[in-house]
Amino acid sequence: MNAPPPPLAPTGRSQTAGDLLEVSMGPHHPSTHGVFRMNVVLDGETVVKLTPVFGYLHRNHEKIAEKNSYLGSIPYTDRLDYICSMTNNWAYVLSVEKLAGIAVPERAEYIRVIVGEMTRLFNHACLAGFLLQDMGALGTPLMYAFREREKILDLFEALSGSRMMCNYMRFGGCRCDLPEGWPEKAARIGAGFESFLDEFEALLTGNEILRARSEGVGVLPRELAVNSGVTGPGLRASGVNYDIRKVDKYGIYDRFKFRVPLGERGDVFDRYMVRILEMRESLMILNQALHDLPDGAIIDPKVRLRNLRPKAGEAYGRIESPKGELGFYLISDGGPIPYRYRVRPPSLINLTVLEDMCMGHTIADVVIILGSIDIVLGEVDR
């Protein structure tokens, strides 16, 4: 295998040295993963300046939530990162549980882990598919990933009634219990995902084109990643061992054995590879959780879903969502609606370093660097 090419140095040319071209990429560009726009200044094909432009999908989610009850905001969280509605639910209910001091029954905790890890599985698989789509592998890897996602979405539909907008978790537990035969089906699909991953890796990881396009591209140095608040696989690809499942041990994550994959160089390939390895760890967690799944109550019967009035105060709760640290900051004034409701969107904050990662690369690389960050515009613009 050839050594990876060194990262390109930013062009030292002054802006007057050549004719610069400003390209408005997006908001309707097929590779910007939604209505995201970048103003890219190009010198030839090389990026010398990149300004992200947000807000095309802005609906002021936070303001809407300050007019709804605590319960009424759960379906809205589904629509933040609309690929991973289960983890969004989880982050929100975790924050409300912190705010109101609610305990969760053990069975509900296990179910949360199971659906959360399934969400991570298909999010990462689809991200790899989208990344390859951006590289020019039109369709094939993405459709394979979607096929596997479809099976998990069927499980989610059987569980919650909806494929993507699950609206499943409640403070103090989950909305309904698992249907008959669900854990067995989940175990079967988990096993199928394992062999899918082997195939997916045989298809992609060794592929020379993928390596040539991704190695040494969009390098994110460790210090910059930490300082600019990058979280999730993007941070770990830069070699920082920070996984909130390990650090905070929220829920029952201290009961499971899993490793945190780390990258070395922090380039696009590392971000791809960290996700592939994370899927394997997720499968390990999934198997353990399905094996240990206890019987019991699904929700704390004392919790008032309607008309919940937490004591005046504030709480910040966060989880490791597939995109990074998803946090909810809630302030209660003792009333039935939150006084302040804030989403800490990993997708938006991970974009802080987009310009630094793209500098000096060609415009074709901008597409895959953006693809490797993994954004969902529902969450970026809220």
Partner 1 sequence: MLGLGILKGFMETGRNFCGSYYDPERLTTVQYPEERLEPQANARTIPFLIYDGSDPIGGLRCTACTICEQECPAHCIEIVKDTAKKPDYLGKMQLHPKVFDIDTAVCMECGICAEVCPFDSIKMDQVFERAGSHRRLTLHKDDLSKSNEYYNKIHPAEAAAVDAARAEEQKKAQARKAAAAVPATP
Partner 2 sequence: MQTLEQIKDRIAAALPGARLAVIANASPAGQPSLLLDHEHALEAARFLRDAPELRFDYASNATGVDWPERTVKERVKVKKMIDGVEKETEELAERKIPGCLEAVYHLYSMELGQGPLIIRLRTGNRTDRVTLPSLTPVWRSCEFQEREIFDLFGIVFEGHPDLRRILMWDGFEDHPMRKDYAPAASGEAKA
Residues in touch with partner 1 (CB under 8 A): 68-69, 71-76, 78-79, 140, 144, 147, 150-151, 154, 157-162, 165, 167, 175-176, 179, 192, 199, 202-211, 305-306
Q: Does 358 help bind partner 2 (rule: CB under 8 A)? A: no
* Helix ranges restricted to H, the chain: 61-65, 74-78, 85-100, 106-135, 140-160, 182-204, 208-214, 222-227, 233-237, 244-247, 268-292, 346-350, 354-358, 363-373, 377-380
> CA–CA separation, 88 vs 68, rounded Å?
17
Cβ nearer to partner 1, comparing 199 with 292 = 199
Q: Does 252 bind partner 2 (CB under 8 A)?
A: no
**Distance from C-alpha of 226 to C-alpha of 232, rounded to nearest angstrom:** 11
| Contact pattern from residue 318 through residue 357 relative to partner 2, giving x for each residue in contact according to CB under 8 A and a dash for the rest | x------x-x-x-xx-------x-x-x---xx-xxx----
State how far Cα 7 lies from the chain centre: 26
Question: For 119, which DSSP code?
Answer: H
**CA-based torsion, 291, 184, 294, 242: positive or negative:** positive
List 7, 313, 336, 360, residue binding partner 2 (CB under 8 A): 313
Q: Which range, of 68-76, 158-166, 188-196, 222-230, touches partner 2 by CB under 8 A?
A: 222-230
**Partner that binds at residue 76, options partner 1, partner 2, none, CB closer than 5 to 8 Å by kind:** partner 1
CB of 317 to partner 2, least distance (A): 8
Site membership for partner 2, residue 99 (CB under 8 A): yes
> Binding partner 2 by CB under 8 A: which of 83, 240, 308, 370?
240
**CA nearest 200: which of 113, 267, 127?**
127
From 35-43, 50-58, 82-90, 301-309, span contacting partner 2 (CB under 8 A)? 50-58
Q: Which does 381 bind (CB under 5 to 8 A by kind): partner 2, partner 1, none?
A: partner 2
Min separation Cβ 241 and partner 1, Å = 29
CB of 223 to partner 2, least distance (A): 9
Closest separation in Å from C-beta 5 to partner 2: 27
In the chain the first and final C-alpha atoms are separated, in Å, by 43
Between CA 118 and CA 83 the distance in angstroms is: 12
CB of residue 332 to partner 2, shortest distance in Å:
7
Region of residue 32 (phi > 0: left; psi between -120 and 50: alpha; otherwise: beta)? alpha
Size (the chain), residues: 382
Q: Which residues of 113-133 are buried (b: 16+ CB within 10 A; e: fewer)?
A: bbbbbbbbbbbbbbbbbbbbb
- Min CB(223)–partner 1 separation in Å: 33
Interacting positions 160-219 with partner 2 (CB under 8 A): none
Shortest separation between residue 228's beta carbon and partner 1, angstroms: 33
Residue 245 per-residue DSSP state: H
Q: Which of partner 1, partner 2, none is residue 60 near (CB under 5 to 8 Å by kind)? A: partner 2
